Structure 1
């Protein structure tokens, strides 16, 4: 009777997740280290929170309270309490601060980097696991904390190599929008649903443009507006006067910038006005926002806070990088005051020559009610979150001439019975701070060892046969220079005779010669251990 063949398991990755190799991990690690240094320069300290929190700690900020596993990944513990993988780094911070409130210094300044998880339908560029890097100040009621966060974000982008003029930090205040909504009759709990519809309409500006937002604020919008066909999205049902007022707020920055231009500042050949003096524009924006918010106390408070932030930005000489812009609408409900967004403004081409503009790479704002959920009192807090993967992708376009990442020096094995001696050569290199490894596969085929070194992107290999060992010598093959030389050699005899980019040295010279080779090619290496 024939034996049943064992079932072969199919290797497959869950949808919405990704494996990451050295090409992704090495530059990301360098980017995170740069961000960390800027945050620590501003006095923020590291904090790490668990990947898992009690689901009720996420509270009303869950996508769907009645279904704990909708929007987030959740499961029940053995005591039947619901646990969830964190969907951001802010809710765990709020829990940590509330749990340790009496022990922590206030204000409490921390930064956190880590993976977050969303149980949502994956798609192109939309992952269920992604990394964020946050910085927050908890316990500071002054908007100076908000201004400082924005300044720190500007300094972070520049430290990462993004030139001034290739990014902007936009600042708004939810109170101003709330004031305008009150002024057009959408204040109070009874209008909460319509307010949410308005926010969603404004937030779709990048997708549907100003005319599409106007439709969504009114009766609604067809998927194909000209033909009035496709899906129909019901609008907020506002009248024309209310719509004009809301859109006037949304466009306040662009209109104030145009007003700030003097006659003759618009060159005839230019279709778009050059940007004016940023401080002059900022004051124009604030005047427009104040007029649109009317005499509502909420709107006045928001404009006043933005004015204070603007003054701090102006005094600190950040006006060319940070601007008051009412077009910023952060979707999360827990923002209670200033909100901000970091936007990249440069445009690049993808591998198919199509224009790519990255837009927002991070955002945040003030959330004075989040920590208070655990304490029964408002606790002021503000913070900023960077989308690490999106920012890393943008940086990869800027660093087209970046030095390639090299692997370790490989010591090949010529004689299997001399493994201990080869391991000693590797240890010598490592003690000198040089990345090195001994080939651990089958040493029978020397060609396979060289192929392995090539795949590891090794800068060089160390070779020692019985003759070299008897003379206390090694051969060093420069794989970087060798690849260049090999391209010019077409004859096997010439190859064997020239042995391109290979030289001998004594064992005592090994470290010095390898360092010399690495320095010649700009390959980084560390200092000696111990």
Structure 2
């Protein structure tokens, strides 16, 4: 009989593009999302938890542009051969939820959602296939007051989590303004159905190339954009990059648009009005921006927090009007030690065509999405989060036959709202119990041996103070403030709380 081949043990490793989150990371994220949720709730938004799985049909054209329905998302066929996928973002599920439940939902519907999304894309440094998003959207109103409210709420959320005023700016633009500029430059109107026909194919390709070039304005400046809109330019490495091929006359409206930002919103809006000329869509875009600016000013949000900025060009195809992003303006050091600005942590805009995929009717909507991992990284840079999370108070076990006594102690602490646990390992070696408490980053260890039990007392060992004394304290400081004290068993809860308060002072 042939010997059965032994199956190898599975490798204990995280799948490629994924990662594990431990205590401190999970707590930091939860605290940050709780703070953001508090702001959203204060603005009148309701929480929504939609399914983590959607049909590929529901996700629709907003998947990556590929041939297979399971490329770009994690997808599979159900038993009825329906293609299912893990959600790619939180916006497409919202469109499905609103279309499905619109008769039961208020109009407008204001919701926020927080949770993981999955993208089957090539992972890289800091780029994972599963990550968290934090969204807020208003569905069912075309009023620019909704757009202004989203921007104000984003500003408040950043300050609430610890990004001070002056370290961020919310920048607003309007895709309609850009469409007006493109109409002048290319003679192309993307709202014209005929523009999708073969006669306009070249113009459509040039439009996409112009959009990609505009997105490089921050990196290459006005002169670089002029070259890229024209014949091309040499990059820093000496390689030649082909240009879009516009004439100087065609490129001028684009440059005028990109350099429209003035000393204040009024100047910027006047410059944008000049850039769009008499195009109907461009004028509508400027009017919407003017409304938003007026609404924000009425609420006290000045250009120190929110500003009209023509350089904002959101890439997603479903944005139909105002677009915005939150940029952190403080400097950090990159991997090579060079200073650079932290950059964008949130973005969004108006998408009036998304729900229509399900209903056949246009439903106006506007929303914002915060990059949770990016914002957490920013808070760590500012020292607002980070370090090691404090663990539970540990009740040590000196006599395994008295486990019920120790369980009573820990129950008293928990009932008083104090995080606590009993050591459940082998209690024979007390040193191992202290090593465990140290690994758990416990603030206090409670000790009750047979002698303490008879006298009705317990020992409280201040592990935080003990660690500091071991590092750098003098003998006098040790005598003045001992790291271990004896207290009455009846006063256990009060004395533990007092010690914890002293550690956090």
Q: Same fold (TM over 0.5)?
A: yes
| Structure 1 residue 207: Cα displacement | 4.2
Structure 2: distance between partners of 1:369 and 1:222: 40
1:200 aligned residue (194, 208, 212): 212
Distance 1:410 1:67, change over 3 A: same
Q: What's the counterpart of residue 262 of structure 1?
A: none
The 3-state SS of whatever aligns with 1:123 is coil
Cross-structure match for 2:192: none
Distance 1:435 1:147 in 2: 42
SS at match of 1:417: helix
Which residue pairs with 1:23 in the alignment? 24
Query: Which moved further from structure 2: 115-124 or 88-97?
Result: 115-124
| CA distance 1:490–1:5, change in 2 (3 Å) | farther
Quickly say closer, same or farther: Cα 1:204–1:70, change in 2 above 3 A: farther
Q: Give the Cα separation in 2 of the matches to 1:201 and 1:126.
A: 24
Q: 1:514 aligns with which of 491, 496, 501?
A: 496
Verify: 1:434 aligned to 2:418, yes or no.
Answer: yes
Q: Does residue 177 of structure 2 align to residue 176 of structure 1? A: yes
Alpha-carbon separation, structure 2, partners of 1:497 and 1:164 = 45
| 1:405-442 deviation digits (Å, cap 9, x = unpaired) | 31000011111222122111111111111100011111
Specify the alignment match of 2:243 in structure 1. 235
* CA offsets 1:371-429 (integer angstroms, 9 cap, x no match): 11101010000001100110111011112697853100001111122212211111111
Pick which of 465-474 and 86-95 moved more. Answer: 465-474
Q: Displacement of 1:364 after TM fit?
A: 0.3
Give the 3 Å change call, closer, same or farther, for CA 393–325 of structure 1 in structure 2.
Answer: same
Q: How many angstroms apart in 2 are the aligned matches of 1:218 and 1:351?
A: 34
Is contact 1:59–1:65 with CA below 8 Å preserved after alignment? Answer: no
Instruction: Name the counterpart of 1:186.
Output: 188
Q: Secondary structure at the match of 2:257?
A: helix
What do you get for the CA RMSD once the two structures are aligned?
A: 2.6
Residue 352 (structure 2) aligns with: 368
The answer as to whether partners of 1:485 and 1:500 remain within 8 angstroms in 2 is: no
The 5 A counterparts of 1:396-475 are 396-399=380-383, 405-475=389-459
2:291 to 298, 301, 308: 308
Show the counterpart of 2:93: 92
CA contact (8 A) 1:89 1:112 kept: yes
Counterpart position of 2:11: 10
- SS of the counterpart of 2:38? helix
Q: Does 1:251 find its partner at 2:259?
A: yes
- Change in CA separation of 1:63 and 1:5 when aligned onto 2, cut-off 3 Å: closer
Instruction: Please name the residue that 1:264 is paired with.
Output: none
Gaps of 5+ in 2: 190-194
**Secondary structure of the residue that 1:243 maps to in structure 2?**
helix
Under a length normalisation based on structure 1, what TM-score does the superposition of the two structures give?
0.87
**Equivalent of residue 505 in structure 1, options 477, 484, 487:** 487
Q: CA deviation at 1:216?
A: 3.2
In the alignment, which residue of structure 2 is the partner of 1:215? 227
- Report the counterpart of residue 332 of structure 1 in structure 2: 316
Partner residue in 1 for 2:119: 118
Q: How many residues align?
A: 491
Cα drift, residue 490 of structure 1: 10
1:380 has 2:364 as partner: yes
From the superposition, tell whether residues 167 and 498 of structure 1 become closer, same or farther in structure 2 (CA, over 3 Å).
closer
**Are the equivalent residues in 2 in contact too, given 1:144–1:309 (CA < 8 A)?**
yes
Unaligned runs of 5+ in 1: 258-280, 524-530
